Structure 1
Amino acid sequence: MFSLLEPPFFTRLRDARRILVAGAGGGFDVYAGVPLALALRAAGKEVHLANLSFSDLYGLDLDVWVDHDVAAIRPDTTIRGDYFPERALARWLALKDLPDTVYAFPQTGVRPLRAAYRALLEHLGGVDAIVLVDGGTDILMRGDEHGLGTPEEDMASLAAVSGLDEVPVRLVACLGFGVDSYHGVSHSLVLENLAALDRDGGYLGTFSLPRESREGRLFLDAVEHGRRATPDHPSIVQGSVAAAVRGDFGDVRFTERTGDSELFINPLMALYFCVDAPVLARHNLYLDRLENTALMRQISSVIEEFRDALPRQRPPRAYPH
C-alpha cells in the first residue's frame, strides 16, 4: 500500500537492507544514482554503485577484476585514456569520505551482462534490490516509437536485470526528462508509455531532487567534479540535470559540446520518474529477442531488424500544453 507521504519508489525499497544502484546506459549514468545512494545510505541501508562502462576496461590491470566482466574501480585505478567516469566518481566519493568503489561492466550482450551481474551479486553477498538509473528517459521506450534515443546499452541492462528473478525488488529510476529530444525521443510518447505502465501497476511516480537538500548539493558537487575530470567530454545529460537542479531555465550553456544545439533546461529535468523493472521489460516489444546476445553490436542488429519489420511506428507527438 502506497501513501502520499512517501514516494512509492522508496516504499518498495523500505525493507531492502542491501541495494545495488547501477547506471543502465553507460557513461555518466551512474551519477544519476548518486542522490538515491546518498538518501538510502542515510536511511541505514548498505548501498553499492555500479555502471555499464564506456571506458576501455579491458586495459585494466588484472587485480582490478572481481570476476569475468566485473571490474572494481577505485580512486587509484589506472586506465588508458582520460575518459573514466567510474574513477572520477570513485575519487569524488573518496573526497567525501564515502565508500569509494564503483563497479564497472564492459559493453556486452545480455547473456554475459546478466552473468556479470550475478558474479557481482555473489561478490557482494547478495542484494535485496537493484535500482537501474538512466540519465534521460529512453529506457522507457517500448520499441515502436518513431525515435528510440540510444537504446542499446539501456536495453542490455534492462534485459539483464529483469531476468535476475532471485533479486526481490528491481526498479528503474530516470533522471533528466527531456534530454533525449536531441536523439529523437518524443516525450509525449514517454508520458503515454508511463500511463500504460501505471495501468499495469508498474509506474512508481515521480519526485524531485531539491537543490537545498544534502543529496542535491552533493549531486551538484559530484557533477562539477566529474566535469573537471573529463574536460574534453563532459556529460551533457548530467550537466543539464545539474542546471535544472540549480533552477536554471531555457538555453543554458555549460559546455562547448552543446554549441550547435538549443537547450531547454527546465524543472522537469530534476524529477526522477520511477518504474518497476520487470513490468517495464514486459512492455518492451523486442526485449525477449535480446536474450541470447553476447555482443553489443548484436543488440543493435536485433533492434534494427525488429524496427524494419514493424508495419508502422508511433509518430512523435507535440506536447499540447
Structure 2
Amino acid sequence: MAARYSGRRQGRAVWVVSSPVAGEDSGMDLFTSPLMERLAPARHVLIAGGGGGFDVFSGLPLYFRLHELGKTVTLANLSFTQLSQVQGTWPVPGVLQVEASTEGPEHYFPEGWLSRWFARRGEQRMPRAPSIVSLSVVSALEGDYGDIHRTERTRGSTLWINPLMSMYWAFDLMAVARRCLYLEALKDTTTQAQMHLIIEAFRAARPVRPWKDIPV
C-alpha cells in the first residue's frame, strides 16, 4: 500500500492511499519492519513509555502484535502520577506494580486506567485528564493537520498535528549511546535529579542551536 500527500483542505491533510498492482512490491509496514525483524528472536519484550504521562499508550499496537506472535510483553511507564497516593506494591526500588485493582489518584492515573482497560476493555474513562499525546495521534491518523485541539488541556498553546505523529521511529540504543557525549558522566547517577543536573551542566558549557520551526 502506498500513500502520497495531495494538499490541505480546511485544516485537514489529504492523503491518497493506493494499493499495489499485481507483482508490485507492497513495501514495508509495522509487521515487516526492521524493528520487528530485530524482535523476532526475543521471547520477552519490555515496552516502556520514556516521556512520562500517557506515552506508554503509544506502544499498544506493538504490544498486541507481539502478543499475536506468542511473545511475553511487559508494559512500563515513566510516571507523572503522584505515586505516594497509589496503593500498590514495590517489587524493587523505583518500580511500582500497577494492576486493575490498584487504587490511585482519581484525577490522573494513566497506568491504573490502562490496567483497568485491559481488565474491562475500556468501560471506564480517565476523568478530566485526557491524553494530549493520544488525542494528537488520533487527529493525525484521521488526517487533521496544523493547530487542531481536541481537549481543553491544550487551549492557549499552538499544536502542529502532522502525519509524522502516526509513525513509529526506531533507533538502535547502543548506537545512540555511543553518540552521547555525557554518557560517562551519567554512569554513577542513581536518581533522575542527578541526571538532570549533569545534562543541564553539559548544555550550559556548549552552544545550543537555536529553535527553528519546521518549514511547512
Equivalent in 229, 233, 240 of residue 126 of structure 2: 229
Displacement of 1:68 in angstroms is 2.4
Displacement of 1:307 in angstroms is 1.1
Partner of 2:174: 278
With the length of structure 2 as denominator, give the TM-score of the two structures: 0.77
Partner of 1:72: 97
Partner of 2:15: none
Equivalent in 196, 207, 210 of residue 315 of structure 1: 210
Secondary structure of residue in 1 paired with 2:170: strand
Partner of 1:301: 197
With the length of structure 1 as denominator, give the TM-score of the two structures: 0.53
* 2:111 matches 1:86: yes
Q: Which amino acid in the other structure matches residue 164 of structure 2? A: L
Written as runs of structure 1 = structure 2, the 5 A alignment for 1:1-321 is 5=28, 6-61=32-87, 64-80=89-105, 82-96=107-121, 228-231=125-128, 233-310=129-206, 312-319=207-214
Q: Which runs of 4+ in 1 moved over 3 A?
A: 58-61, 315-321
Output one character per residue of 1:107-144: Cα deviation in whole Å (capped at 9) or x when no partner: xxxxxxxxxxxxxxxxxxxxxxxxxxxxxxxxxxxxxx
Alignment root-mean-square deviation, CA: 2.2
Secondary structure of residue in 1 paired with 2:107: coil
Secondary structure of residue in 2 paired with 1:294: coil
Q: Counterparts of 1:90 and 1:70 in 2: how far apart (Å)?
A: 16
Displacement of 1:86 in angstroms is 0.4
Size of the alignment, in residue pairs?
187
Q: Counterparts of 2:52 and 2:148 in 1: how far apart (Å)?
A: 24
Q: Which amino acid in the other structure matches residue 195 of structure 2? A: I
Displacement of 1:271 in angstroms is 0.6
Secondary structure of residue in 2 paired with 1:79: coil
Displacement of 1:33 in angstroms is 1.0
Structure 2: stretches of 5+ with no match in the other structure: 1-26
Q: Counterparts of 1:318 and 1:51 in 2: how far apart (Å)?
A: 29
Q: Which amino acid in the other structure matches residue 294 of structure 1? A: T
Secondary structure of residue in 1 paired with 2:169: strand
Output one character per residue of 1:224-246: Cα deviation in whole Å (capped at 9) or x when no partner: x88x4141x32222221121122
Q: Counterparts of 1:272 and 1:80 in 2: how far apart (Å)?
A: 31
Q: Counterparts of 1:246 and 1:72 in 2: how far apart (Å)?
A: 34
Compare relative contact order (CA 8 Å, sep 6+) and give the higher one, 1 or 2: 1
Q: Which amino acid in the other structure matches residue 185 of structure 2? A: R
Structure 1: stretches of 5+ with no match in the other structure: 97-221
Displacement of 1:294 in angstroms is 2.5
Q: Which amino acid in the other structure matches residue 314 of structure 1? A: R
Q: Counterparts of 1:71 and 1:304 in 2: how far apart (Å)?
A: 28
Work out the percentage of aligned pairs sharing the same amino acid.
Answer: 43
| Distance verdict in 2 for CA 1:38–1:308, change over 3 Å | same
Q: Which has the higher helix share?
A: 1
Contact 2:66 2:73 in 1 (8 A): yes
